[in-house]
Amino acid sequence: MTDLSTEGQVPKTGIAGLKQNLQKDIISGFLVFLIALPLCLGISLACGYPAIAGIFTAIIGSILATFISNSELTIKGPAAGLIVIVIGAVTEFGFTGGQDPAADLQAYKLALGVGVAAGCIQILFGLLRVGSLGDFFPLTVVHGMLASIGIIIILKQFPITLGGHAKGEPLELLAEIPEKVMHMNPGIAIIGLISLVIMFCFPLIKNKYVKMVPSPMVVLIFAVPLGIYFGLTHEHSYIFRGHEYHLGEAFLVNVPGNMFSAITHPDFSALKTVAGWKWVMMFALIGSIESLLSAKAIDMIDPWKRKTNQNRDLLSVGIGNTVCSFVGGLPMISEIVRSRANIDNGARTRFANMYHGIFLLLFVALVPFLLHQIPLAALAAMLVYTGFKLAAPREFVQVYRIGVEQLIIFVGTIIAVLATDLLVGIAIGIGLKFMIHIINGVPIRSLFRPYLDIERRDDDTYTVITRYSAVFSNWIPFKRQLEQLGLIQKKNIILDMSDTRLVDHSVMEKLHVLESEFEENNLKLEIIGLENHLKLSDHPLASRKKGLATLRRITIFADTTLQDQFEQEFINIGIADFVAMECGGSGIKDFTKNSEKIKARVCTEVLTVPAKAELVLDYLRKQIMPRYAITVCVENVRAVLPGYS
């Protein structure tokens, strides 16, 4: 990432910025082009579109977005997250996977018509200023949606890395994997599996000079010569272990010699059907959500903390999608992986996005024959890796750490998407989230409306008291009120959440982001009143539920000489609540020797969370009990007490 200490002030924008940052933006644009080229081809083919369609999208998106959006570092283009939607649309429109070229072309044209309509809706979204649309969807459901997309990408692309085909529903494809492995084409599988190994192992390489070459390019450096070695440019067969396998150009990327001859215009007849409009809404909603979330994520890691106008960016995506679909391109979004690479490569302004598109245009226009040398198995391997990143085991672990209820929603969304489709799966995930909120005591009336009381503390500060709940579904008006009072009126805000029954994870995370925005504007957003809320996990952004906390009470009977030692150890562990009381009594040994002897003893009680209670018990077992006669009692209690974490 760019170091502000060495790079100076915020880069200029407009024509002045074009001149000031020319060298850095061109270098970054070229490096992003190296990543984008194979991914655009692979995503297109995975969507059932011609390979060149993704290139059209990246070129058009990069040029239009540069002059319409104010997002400085996002890269616009086709994204793996839209594969499931697009292939679903063309499949419903009659796509056969190459068995009937005429039917495939018609399905492609119908999907383009859907893309134009979806782009127009996104333009309306931008003009109507609904850029906050992405804030409605709970983060766990969105992550579940992306993970399910990743799983579907893996299931559909892994057979292609082995030289086979994939057709059917996700759960069917999962059941067919052993058969695909048993009937792999060994020559193609060598290319695909080597490509997979490169993609998975490349992040482990630490050499900075090797890392200068993007991993997709490293794959092509190995895959293209292997394709030439196996003679994929001409049709032939070979025998391996008694089985005959076919090789030929069908296993290579097919691109036209003249890119303009590949321009295809949409067929709007699908818009006369209910199914057509279902896909229009899928394209528009999912594409908009992914694009908005990606733009926000990139804003958070922008070295200069510049903020994207979400409505303007959505407008640019809508215009770009409309134009792309008119000429045969894929839907586009703000793509997060290439955008992150753009930042890491030193980009400073939006012109880096434009340069990456220009490099794509020059490459495809001048040397299209090189694209024909790329094996499809290598592109499929890149997409398998992309799918794995979306659905990696660490995603499940991270969600579990936020809370068990979040894992239920996350896994529930994944299963629902795999068993039904994307839109129904998301709806089920959101419904599951609502159900858990209601079980946790959220009043139905506060699910969509925040109840806020505003008090003016002094000239510079407002106190905002939140009642009932602060959850994902009432966050948009909630946030709007905080921004109006704080960021627009330039006032500090004390947000009192003591009267809320539940503050969910989505709101906790978004409040954390909003705190940073206040700090950037030299303001303060102070959140109070959560001391009596029970965290549903140890994660700092876990949901908070008002109620009784489960604590552990440890009672220790010991000699008075140990009192100071106990207190010091409790303080070292971080326990503030304990009490020591003098009492009389005797141990069993003293009692047997002299039943009338009563010794001065101390009774110490500790109240703490289970994790710290274990530290106390460990200390007593190892350091005290081997040397002193003490009695220890432990019990679980429910308490309303502040300060536990």
Looking at residue 197, its amino acid is V
Q: Are residues 20 and 160 in the same domain?
A: yes
For residue 227, what are its two tokens? 């394709």
Query: Within this chain, do residues 403 and 371 fall inside the same structural domain, yes or no?
Result: no
Measure the CA–CA gap between 224 and 584, rounded to whole angstroms.
86
CATH of residue 448's domain is: 3.30.750.24
203 lies in a domain? yes
Q: Which helix (H) or strand (E) holds 420?
A: none
Both tokens assigned to 473 = 């579904």
- Please list the residues that pair with 549 across neighbouring strands: 639
Per-residue pLDDT band for 595 (boundaries 50, 70, 90) equals: low
Q: What is the CATH number of the domain that holds 598?
A: 3.30.70.120
402/536 Cα distance (integer angstroms):
8
Same structural domain, 369 and 468: no
Q: Are residues 340 and 404 in the same domain?
A: no
* Residue 461 maps to a domain: yes
Is residue 55's pLDDT more than 80?
yes
What does the pLDDT look like over 359-370, one tens digit per residue?
999 999 999 999
Q: Which of 34, 39, 41 is nearest to 254 (CA)?
A: 41
Give the count of beta carbons closer than 10 Å to the beta carbon of residue 274: 6
Shared domain for 260 and 240, answered yes or no, is: yes
Does a structural domain hold residue 644? no
Confidence tier at 135 by pLDDT (50, 70, 90): confident
Question: Distance between CA atoms of 81 and 286, rounded to whole angstroms?
Answer: 9
518/550 Cα distance (integer angstroms): 34
Containing structural domain, residue 157: 4-390
Crossing angle for the helix pair 170-182 and 139-161, to the nearest 10 degrees? 30
Tell me: do 256 and 383 sit in the same domain: yes
Q: Is residue 439 part of a domain?
A: no
Number of folded domains in the chain? Answer: 4
Q: Are residues 288 and 212 in the same domain?
A: yes
CA distances to 34, 273, 537, 577 from 637, in Å: 60, 61, 18, 14
Residue 33 CA from chain centroid, whole number = 23
Are 587 and 531 part of one and the same domain?
no
First to last CA, the chain: 34
Residue 621 carries which DSSP code?
I
Q: CA–CA separation, 597 vs 612, rounded Å?
A: 36
Residue 483, classed as helix, strand or coil, is helix
The answer as to whether 645 is a domain residue is no
Question: What are the C-alpha distances in Å from 452 to residues 188, 293, 444, 543?
Answer: 62, 27, 16, 19
**Strands 525-528 and 492-503, how do they pair?**
parallel
Q: What is the pLDDT of residue 532?
A: 77
Among 496, 528, 544, residue at a domain's last position: 544
Judge contact between 27 and 346, C-beta under 8 A.
Answer: yes
Does 501 fall in a domain?
yes
Answer yes or no: do 199 and 342 share one domain.
Answer: yes
Q: Quick: pLDDT tens for 451-500.
A: 999 999 888 999 999 999 999 999 999 999 999 999 999 999 999 998 99
Question: pLDDT per residue over 403-415, tens digit each?
Answer: 999 999 999 999 9
> In the predicted model, is pLDDT for residue 590 greater than 80?
no
Tell me whether residue 275 is in a domain.
yes
At which of 525, 544, 563 does a domain end? Answer: 544
Please give the backbone phi and psi of residue 98, each rounded to the nearest 5 degrees, phi first: 100, -10
Asked which of 412, 434, 456 is the last residue of a domain, the reply is 434
Residues 384 and 400 in one domain: no
pLDDT averaged over the chain? 90
The dihedrals phi and psi of 196, each to the nearest 5 degrees, come to -60, -45
563 domain-assigned: yes
- Looking at per-residue confidence, does 261 or 132 come out higher? 261
In the chain, the percentage of residues whose pLDDT exceeds 70 is 96
In this structure, the answer to whether residues 381 and 312 fall within a common structural domain is: yes
The verdict on 338 and 242 lying in the same domain is yes
Residue 644 in contact with residue 551, Cβ under 8 Å? yes
- Mean pLDDT within 141-159: 94
